[in-house]
Each structure stands twice: as C-alpha cells, then as structure tokens.
Amino acid sequence: MHAHLGEDIAVLPMALAAARAGAIPLVVTIHTSVRHTYLAVGLRGHVLKLLGTAAEAAVVPHATAVIALTARLAERLTDVEPERLHVVPSGVVPAGCASAGDDPLPDVPHPRVLFVGRLHRRKGVLTLIRAAAADAHERRADRRGR
C-alpha cells in the first residue's frame, strides 16, 4: 500500500487499515509533513496541524518505508529510522520524455509546457499561465518585427 501525505491527512489511517487488512507493507511518501513542516495559519490550518500531527505520529512508525521528496525534509523526519527513510526527489528527466514517434499534437505550437499536479494556488499555476501568455505575446511581437 502506497500512501501520499500532503494536506489530506485522512489518507494515512485509511492506508494503514488497508495495509493491515491485506497483510501488505505500507510505504508513505511525504509531500508535506503536517507534523514537521506545515505552518498553520488560521483556524483551518491549526485544526489540520493538530489532527495531522496525530495521524502522522500514529501511522508513520508502522510504515515499512518512508519517502521524502527532498533531503531537507528527510532531515526533519528525525522520528523515522534512517534504514526506512529514502529521498526520491520529484522531477522529470528530459531525455526520458523524448519521443521517437510522430508528434501527437501537431496543431499545438512549440514551445509547450506540461503541468501535472493539484490545481492549488501554492503550485503557481496562475504564474505559469501568465508566463505562457507573456511568452506567446512576445513571440507574436517578434514575428511582426515589433
């Protein structure tokens, strides 16, 4: 069972229950440690911090392996034994994205940007959209010779 911990703290106890029911290992990937790195703001944030800390403290010790996305986060997970803790950074290896086949979107101009993630303000999708629009505007201006 592989659970991803972010701000959806209900995932952890459900994953632990499923792993136990199936007698299978539990792996937890920590995107945001509510217990160690989440900064609570407002009532919702403080409730999330309180409940998330409890859920994380109750479940993570039962994980066969814990994955942190950065070395910095791994350093903060002092309650996880080093042999169970692994750093696997997010990212894309550009060479792995090269296609030997035909372009699946021949009508979509280059350059292209692909975003895969939650549509949340923190992810900066609005910044990405604005940057793409500014780039498109600059390209049109360049083609017109400014």
Is the pLDDT at 31 greater than 90? The verdict is no
pLDDT digits (tens, 9 = 90+) for 98-130: 666 788 888 888 777 777 777 778 788 899 889
pLDDT digits (tens, 9 = 90+) for 72-104: 999 999 889 999 999 998 776 777 766 667 888
Distance from C-alpha of 22 to C-alpha of 111, rounded to nearest angstrom: 46
CB 33 within 8 A of CB 12: no
pLDDT confidence bin for 32, thresholds 50/70/90: confident
Instruction: Give the SS3 label for residue 48.
Output: helix
Q: Would you kindly state where each structural domain of the chain is located, as residue ranges?
A: 2-87, 94-144
Residue 125 identity: V
Work out the average pLDDT over 36-64. 90
